[in-house]
Amino acid sequence: MDRTILHCDCNSFYASVETLLDPTLADGPSAVCGDPESRHGIILAKNEKAKAFGIQTAETIWQAKRKCPGLRLVAPHRSEYVKYSRKCNELYLQYTDLVDPFGIDESFLDVTGSMHLFGTGEQIADELRRRMREEVGLTISVGVSFNRAFAKLGSDYKKPDVRSVFSRGNYRDKVWPLPVNTLLYVGKRAADRLARVGVHTIGDLAACDPSFVHHIFGKMGDTLLRYARGEDDEPVRSFYAEREVKSVGNSMTFAHNLLGEDECRLGLTALCDNVGRRLRKRGLVCQTVQLGIRDPEFRNRSRQTTLERPTNSTRALIETSMALLRTHWQMDKPVRLLSVTAANLLPENQSCEQLSLFESADAVKRRDRQHKLDQTVDALRQRFGDQSVVFAHSVKKKDENKENTQNKPG
């Protein structure tokens, strides 16, 4: 028997939550954006009236204001988004425990075992849409299908507040004519590569020879072909199942462009401190460190390195990130954003190290001391707060900034 999978997607989630907080935002075009003074000057979400002006997510504020001079802008309230995301999933869990969040504003549901209680997949979808409007105050679009990939397509098919069904009987007529970039995990680059070989629709992809698609995309191509052909058999995990952590990362857009090694080290220290602490809290070590860099013109660069020894040491993460930065960036060029990601994770108590015949006993002792120091700092912060222990050079930098401010004329 086929499964019945729903994909529930909140419509204009951030903007809709902001409208619940301030109902006057519904009177005209509005958008959620970062604080321009803190250099987060892009559109994060917009309401339906703003969409009518052609405003796009991720475009700059000045571009959006040029399209719509009367656009109302509001700062994001992330804690509220988390709260409403939780409310949505609590509603879904009243119908099945197989609720798999796919981001803060969308979730997959497997209601196959619930239909004898609540009706067909279409009936459950419509009831969820009604209850979401009446009880939570949000609207959702719901895709109903026999697999996850087509259910996701269904929720995107028509918006807002619509239920769309892709069944065994209609998916060739409804799904296959859709542009290939509407398929799950087909981004712009993948769509461009497919277009160059004459693949423009999902049906075109479904008709391809498997070896041809594998040659272009490797294992990911095998997955995309299964999705296009309606052969996706990925299960919907229980909401209560433990999620495998594949990476731990952090990024920061800085209040001013970083310039020079000292300022970049300060920024990387804050990021690596956060990443290292989260690794240790989960009992994990990483084998790969990835560094992301964005300049003031929004050009991105990403580099990574594989470590000789898996680590969760904050100091090791800082030094590795700085080495990547020195190698792949000119220090006299400004930096707008930095990100550090720990990848290829292993349980700390199961990681095996390649012992070096050339490593001195002192080096081993230093590493052990650093590990104990990290654990001590974590314990102090757990007890007395995050600011109870900070890096000395960050305090020095703050004191220098304060002194410079006090010494300014006038």
At residue 156, what is the residue type?
D
Structure tokens at 221: 């191509």
3-class DSSP state of 52: coil
Find all residues with CB under 8 Å of 119, minimum gap 6, and list them: 127
Rg of the chain on CA atoms, in Å: 25
Q: How far apart are CA 212 and CA 221, in angstroms?
A: 9
Whether 127 sits among the annotated catalytic residues: the reply is: no
Query: How far from chain centre, in Å, is Cα 312?
Result: 22
At residue 362, what is the residue type?
D
Q: Which residue has the tokens 């109902």?
A: 23
- Name the residue among 387, 383, 378, 370 with its Cα closest to residue 281: 378
The upper half-sphere exposure of residue 355, i.e. CA atoms within 13 Å in the direction of its Cβ, equals: 4
Q: What sign does the CA torsion over 374, 376, 377, 383 have?
A: positive
CA 329 → CA 229, 393, 408, distances in Å?
44, 22, 32
Structure tokens at 35: 């604080």
Q: How far apart are CA 130 and CA 289, in angstroms?
A: 46
Q: How far apart are CA 125 and CA 34, in angstroms?
A: 34
At residue 216, what is the residue type?
I
Query: How far from chain centre, in Å, is Cα 48?
Result: 23
Structure tokens at 145: 């299908």
Set 18, 59, 106, 400: catalytic member:
106
Q: How far apart are CA 391 and CA 410, in angstroms?
A: 32
- Name the residue among 111, 158, 126, 84 with its Cα closest to residue 6: 111
Catalytic positions are 106
